[in-house]
Every structure is written in structure tokens, then in C-alpha cells.
Structure 1
Amino acid sequence: MASSSAPRASFVVIAGRHKGGKRASSSSSKRGAKGRPEGVATDLKPSSVAGVTEDHAFEQFFYDDATQDRIMRLVQNHERPLFLCNPSLAVRAERAGMDYLLLDRDPRWKKVLPKGRFRQFELSSPRQMRFQYDAVFVDPPFANVQLHDLRRTVDLLASNATQAAAPVYLAFISDREDAVLAAFDGYGLERKGPALGYASVKQSTQERIYLYGPRADWNPDGAC
């Protein structure tokens, strides 16, 4: 059951870790069995989405195509998704003609997405959204945000009961799974599906990033 201080919302968490790391050896240019880069993320060529190139200094990493396809199947179960630090999904939602909003620190998205679809946003300065979202998809900078602060930010987005009851899909690493479940205690989370893929993150890191979400028997009214 959710604590009294938290809105009763459904959360899906993609657990993750710092996607960067130490400088790679000469093997960084190799590719794994699935065709993904083997090197450390910061030594790999940044990927681009809709003409925007990843900014690795701010832990900006985009999903690979297969992962975008996979998560978009969840996105399309909703009518008004909110994307927090998740621009690659916002671009896909735009192409699909969906009603959505992207919150992200990177001002470059203002030139990419239509007016009203993007708002510059800092995780450290959360504010309520008038946009009546029915789901939240989050892929935070794993090394630069504390889990309890992340939960507080997501909680504070909701300005009414409908938003508070929206399912939330959040990205994070299985190495910190216990911490994720503790930070979002009361939301009935469990690990979902295979590991997620990123376009310019080394394969050994990608293999530890998973999708988490509410158990089938959990509901936003507080039953766990």
C-alpha cells in the first residue's frame, strides 16, 4: 500500500546505472552478438534522434530502435503520455500523431517538436503540470539523480487525482534494484521483460538495464 505522503499512482521503472564509465580499451570499437557497441558509452559515437545529437556530458543517451518499438507499444495504450527526460519516445509519439508533452532540460527540443509539446524542465526543480497526462515515461540520468529525489519529482508532477493515478514508466539499473523498490515503496513494482537497449551505451551496461512496473494485482487505489 502506498504511503500517505505519496499519490496512488502506478509506476513502471526502467532500472539503470551510470551509462558512462572509465575510458575504454582498444576493444571499444567491437560489437557484440546483437550488433551493439562493446565500448564504454563515453567513448562511443553519440547517437542522434531527429537531428539532435546525444550530450554525454549530461548523461543523455537515446534508446535503440528495438527498445523504442517495445516501449511505444506501452505508450500507445495511453492517450496523453508525459515524457520526462525521454525525448526519443516524444519524437516517436509526434510521428504517431499522439497528444503528449516532453519535459527535458535540453532546450534543443524546442526547435524539433511543435509548439506546446515541449517544456524545459529540471529534475531538481519539479512543478505541477496542467497537461492532463494519463501515463508518465521517465528515463533519468542515473548517476546524477538520487532515487528519493526522483520519486519526489514524479509525485509533485501530479496536480489532481487523475494525474496521481496515472501509470509511470521509469528507467533505472538492476544493480540498484533493491534501492529502486525501496524508493518507490507502495507502488507494487516488479521487473518486466528483457533488458533495454541504448544506441551508444556499451553492451555490458545495457544488459543490466531493465523495465520495472506494477504487478498485475496492484491498483492505484492503494491495494498492493
Structure 2
Amino acid sequence: MWALWWRVVFLLLGQAGALVPSPPLRCGVEAWGKKKKTNRERAWAERKKAEACAVARRRGRATDLEPSWLAVRGTRVEEDHRYEQFFFDEATTARLAGLALAYERPLLVGVPSLAVALDGKRDYLLLDRDERFQELRWEPFDFARPCPLDSGFEFDALFADPPFANVDIDQFAAALRVLCGGGGPSTPPIFVCYSIKRAAQLAEALRDLGHLRQRGPCLSYACGLMPQQIGLFSTTTAL
């Protein structure tokens, strides 16, 4: 009887011992744990490094987009994204310039890309907040506080590329009314570069200045902002 009892005890102890990892297995588990910890630490370090690089890249800028630039009579002028300043790419600039060249005295509101393209080819006037364009034919302009032209420049077409966020549609419409003398039959053709998602709002806000409709394909900014989302809206069909 006692012999049988001890055999049962030894059998149970043997089964319990089988559940305890052998020294090599314990070493493997510990090594796996250390490797997992190392991977977590490496991933965390890489994440922090990427965040630091992003901060450095954005320092002094409002977007992650690489600023485009214009050559203004030999001086390089970069976009200032803090003020939603974006320059058009070559194809869009050429298209707008082709339209503007059909007029003798185009007024350019916030469209420095077009001013550079027309410089020396037309008697234009650029209205813009950015004093870096004063080498061109330029007057300072603020959509929030629009004023009639100081120079008395008489224009036969108006091209505008207003900010989409910093200036709302009603502000923009009010500014154009000031420039156009309140609207009416004598209002010159108007060309507006604007988000196609807000086309109906734009047309409604400017209805007293003419029948505004999208004309042609979408426009493109050189930095890649809002691809296939910017349309050219005009009160004239003579494009």
C-alpha cells in the first residue's frame, strides 16, 4: 500500500515538474521579451525623430507643402502659406495669361503669378498684401478693408484668386463691389479662381456683378495644393 502511495506522489511531482520551463526555454522567453522591448524602444525613437523632422520642416510655415516661388525681376519670392499665398503652376499661369492678354488693362487681385507673366506685356495693376511685389506695378490691398484704387486705374477685366479660409465669400464679394464701383451693366468681365465645392455660394454672392459660371478645366497650384479642386469662374463666355 505504501509503495503504491509513493508511486502516485512521484507521478504527480513528475507531472508538475513538466510544467516548469526548462532552463533553455526560460532563456528563450527572456530573450524574446528583451527583443520585444528593444523593438518598442526603436519604434518610439523613430517616431519621435520623424515628429522632430516634421516640426523642423514646418518651422516658419503654415503647411507641410514645399513653397513654390516666383522670379520677380530677378528676385526669388517664395509663397507665404501663412496668408494662403499660393502660386499657379506654369500651365495654369499660361492659360490665365492667354485670357488676360485679350484685355488692355487687367486688374489682378491676389494673382502675383499672373502679374509676373504679364509684366512688360500689358498695362496691368496687381493688388496684393505682399510688399515683396512692389517692384511690379502694385498697390497694397486688404480684403478685410477694401478701398477704391488709389491710382484711379481704369481696368477692362478683373482676375482674382482670393484666400479660401482667411477671407469668406461675403468679404470677397464686398471687396469686388468696392473695386467695381458697386456693379451694374458697366462691370467689366470678372475671372475668379475658387474652390469648385463652393461654386454655388460664389455665384450667389457675386450675382449682382454678373452671371458667374465655371469655365474650362481645373486650375493647379505649383506646390500641389488642392489638386483638381480649383476652378476658373467667369462672368464672360468669351474664353
Normalised TM-score (structure 1): 0.71
2:160 counterpart of 1:138: yes
Which residue number corresponds to residue 45 of structure 1? 66
**Deviation at 1:181?**
1.5
What is the distance in 2 between the residues matched to 1:160 and 1:57?
A: 30
Which residue number corresponds to residue 200 of structure 1? 223
Which residue number corresponds to residue 100 of structure 1? 124
What is the distance in 1 between the residues matched to 2:202 and 2:161?
A: 13
What is the distance in 2 between the residues matched to 1:162 and 1:49?
A: 35
Cα deviation code 1:170-214 (max 9, x no counterpart): 111111112111111242122111110100134xx2201111122
2:176 counterpart of 1:154: yes
**Deviation at 1:137?**
0.6
Between structures 1 and 2, the one with greater helix share? 2
What is the distance in 2 between the residues matched to 1:163 and 1:102?
A: 24
Q: Name the SS for the 1:206 alignment partner.
A: coil
* Structure 1 contact 192–212 (Cα < 8 Å) conserved: yes
What is the distance in 1 between the residues matched to 2:160 and 2:70?
A: 17
Cα deviation code 1:98-139 (max 9, x no counterpart): 1011110001111x32xxx11111111111121011111100
* Structure 1 contact 42–56 (Cα < 8 Å) conserved: yes
The 3 A distance-change label for structure 1 pair 160 and 152 is closer
Task: Could you tell me which runs of 5 or more consecutive residues in structure 2 were left unpaired when the two chains were aligned.
Answer: 1-49, 51-61
The residue type equivalent to 1:128 in the other structure is P
Which residue number corresponds to residue 58 of structure 1? 83
Which residue number corresponds to residue 97 of structure 2? 72
What is the distance in 1 between the residues matched to 2:101 and 2:219?
A: 18
Q: Name the SS for the 1:155 alignment partner.
A: helix
The 3 A distance-change label for structure 1 pair 123 and 163 is farther
Kindly name which structure, 1 or 2, has the bigger radius of gyration based on alpha carbons. 2
The residue type equivalent to 2:223 in the other structure is S
Question: What is the identity percentage for the equivalent residue pairs of Structure 1 and Structure 2?
Answer: 38
Q: Name the SS for the 2:165 alignment partner.
A: helix
Q: Name the SS for the 1:133 alignment partner.
A: coil
2:190 counterpart of 1:168: yes
Which residue number corresponds to residue 114 of structure 2? 89
Q: Which 10-residue stretch deviates more, 63-72 or 174-183?
A: 174-183
The number of equivalent residue pairs is 172
What is the distance in 2 between the residues matched to 1:143 and 1:134?
A: 28
**Deviation at 1:159?**
4.6
Normalised TM-score (structure 2): 0.66
* Structure 1 contact 61–201 (Cα < 8 Å) conserved: no
Q: CA RMSD in A?
A: 2.5
* Structure 2 contact 177–183 (Cα < 8 Å) conserved: no
Which residue number corresponds to residue 210 of structure 1? 231
What is the distance in 2 between the residues matched to 1:46 and 1:196?
A: 17
